[in-house]
A and B are shown apart, each in its own frame.
Chain A
Amino acid sequence: MPILMRRWKNGLACAALILAGTGHAGDLVVVMAAGAQPLSKERVAGVFVGRTMDLKPIDLPDANPARRDFYRKATDRDLAQIRAVWARITFTGLGQLPKQLADDKAVKLAVAADKTAIGYIDKADLDSSVTVVLELD
């Protein structure tokens, strides 16, 4: 019995590690400068896949798991698909890849300083410097 219990606990620990590796720490929110109005998911997706250029998308680094979660939830696409979409925009001279900043703190600073910038951060890192325009469950 103790052996079975140990295996069960080990199994739970492995499952927790796998989940931790595939997800991010918390819920994501899309943010703009203070006073911005709420946006639809389609509107946010349009900005981050380069369909509309009136807002400046601010991205996180490839290694940040929140990036993959964001694109999956906001655009229904994985990172390879997003790279292909931006390859078309970049190599036709219509735009450049979204600027990538190091972390949530840098994203908040950039978004707070520019009314046309839009980024995404962990909900736990929210403060009054930015406004939530879309919550991603």
Chain B
Amino acid sequence: MPSIRIATLAVSAGAIFLLAAMPFSASYADGISTTISGFGTLGGTFVSNGGYQFVHDITEFKGASTQFDPGLDSRLGLQAVIDFGSGFDFTAQEVLRQRGNDAFSPGAELLFVQYSPTPMFIFRLGRFDDNLFLTSEVLNVGYASPWFEAPNVVYGAGLLRWIDGGEFIGRKAIGNVSLKLDVAFGSSTAAIDAGGIMSTIDAKNVSNVVLSLEYKSLTVRVSRNSSSAPFSLALSPTLVTSTTTHDEFDEAGLYYDDGRALLYSEFVRRRQNDVQLIDEPEAQFRSWYVAAGWRFGALTPLVSYGAVTSQQTLVSPPGTFNSVAASLRYDVARNIALKMQISNAAAGNYDFWTRADPASTSRINVFSLGADFVF
């Protein structure tokens, strides 16, 4: 944990320094230009049952209970891009948000140099988004999404938010069809609270391959993400089992937006090897969701339904849990969207609560409200 904090603070300090040193937008005679932009969310969440705390995923240690909690959803991001010309640029994105058990603290979400010799090819080195699911790249940028909370049954599993390493993006348009290949490799870390056990995922050999196709209003994509991380568990005061966990995600998603109708859907399969001596993985499941909406001028109502089917694992018994949600986006002013969302999930769903109760048949409502903005 301390090593993560030191590394995070060092990267953040560098990003803050670079951001503070730049004007909002400027061009210089030698062809170098800088652009600063930003995004944020001011909002919060509360739940209908005081026995449960809602979290987006287990990197959040403290959840929202029956009191309106602005900590989980509020954030502020600043991004600076220095364009050196000739296809080279540098991007730094610093986000102030609640991390782990901390109060609000800054962290570098993007910090990379990029070379694009032609619009078809992009090469990156540094820290970039883990493009795990359909909207993983913009989880912090609420304004870019129709909902306030992305469906937890899928997005709750995305614990690694970035990759430190290299990335290649290839793009090719064939008629009205656009193809995109995104290949990334590197390492990542995340501090988690798995059912009260605090630990750190120190992931190596993180690889992510995403192939997407866009045709008119439709985008479809398939992806595979894999990583390895050491895992130790004390079975007794004298017996500790140590394993390298190989974690794999297979994902297929589609997104349709013709200006009026909206449709999002994803299917995810997660597989892990068994922990030695226990013969059970830490996590293994299949999950999916469908979300559909319609734009009525500035108003965009959206409903979603999703489910997760877990196998027997170290932290959860087998079971299937569904969730439903209804949200409303109101584009109230230029660059500002007000949103509200009501989600309903089972008390046993590990994707929603800090301490799930699989034996309970209760269902709990999650109420969210806020404003997303960009500048």
Point out residues on A near B: beta carbons under 8 Å.
Answer: 40, 42-43, 46, 51-54, 62, 75-81, 83-85, 87-88, 90-94, 96-97
Residues of B within 8 A of A97 (CB): 37
Point out residues on B near A: beta carbons under 8 Å.
Answer: 35, 37, 39, 77, 79, 81, 83, 91, 93, 110, 112, 114, 119-120, 122, 124, 128-129, 137-138, 140-141, 143-145, 169, 171, 173, 176, 178, 214, 216, 258-260, 295, 298, 331, 334-335, 337, 374
Asked if A91 and B39 sit within 8 Å, CB to CB, the answer is: yes
Asked if A43 and B259 sit within 8 Å, CB to CB, the answer is: no
Bound Cα distance from A79 to B169, whole angstroms: 28
Bound Cα distance from A42 to B168, whole angstroms: 27
Residues of B within 8 A of A76 (CB): 258-260
Residue from A43, A93, A96 having most chain B Cβ neighbours under 10 A = A93
Asked if A91 and B173 sit within 8 Å, CB to CB, the answer is: no
Bound Cα distance from A94 to B298, whole angstroms: 27
Residues of B within 8 A of A83 (CB): 143, 334-335, 374
Bound Cα distance from A113 to B318, whole angstroms: 64
Asked if A53 and B216 sit within 8 Å, CB to CB, the answer is: no
Residue from B169, B259, B337 having most chain A Cβ neighbours under 10 A = B259
Bound Cα distance from A100 to B138, whole angstroms: 24
Asked if A40 and B114 sit within 8 Å, CB to CB, the answer is: no
Bound Cα distance from A46 to B143, whole angstroms: 21
Q: What's the nearest-Cβ distance from chain B to residue A58, in Å?
A: 16
Bound Cα distance from A65 to B79, whole angstroms: 29
Asked if A54 and B298 sit within 8 Å, CB to CB, the answer is: no
- On whether A88 and B334 interact (CB within 8 A), knowing A53-B171, A54-B173, the answer reads no
Asked if A90 and B37 sit within 8 Å, CB to CB, the answer is: yes
Bound Cα distance from A29 to B74, whole angstroms: 42
Q: What's the nearest-Cβ distance from chain A to residue B109, in Å?
A: 9
Asked if A87 and B129 sit within 8 Å, CB to CB, the answer is: no
Bound Cα distance from A84 to B39, whole angstroms: 11
Asked if A87 and B176 sit within 8 Å, CB to CB, the answer is: no
Q: Could you show 20 A-B contacts with beta carbons less than 8 Å apart? A: A46-B173, A52-B119, A53-B119, A76-B258, A76-B260, A83-B143, A83-B334, A83-B374, A84-B145, A87-B138, A87-B144, A88-B137, A90-B79, A91-B39, A91-B77, A91-B93, A92-B129, A92-B137, A96-B35, A97-B37
Residues of A within 8 A of B331 (CB): 80
Residues of A within 8 A of B259 (CB): 75-78, 81
Asked if B334 and A79 sit within 8 Å, CB to CB, the answer is: yes
Bound Cα distance from A52 to B143, whole angstroms: 22
Bound Cα distance from A90 to B129, whole angstroms: 13
Residues of A within 8 A of B91 (CB): 93
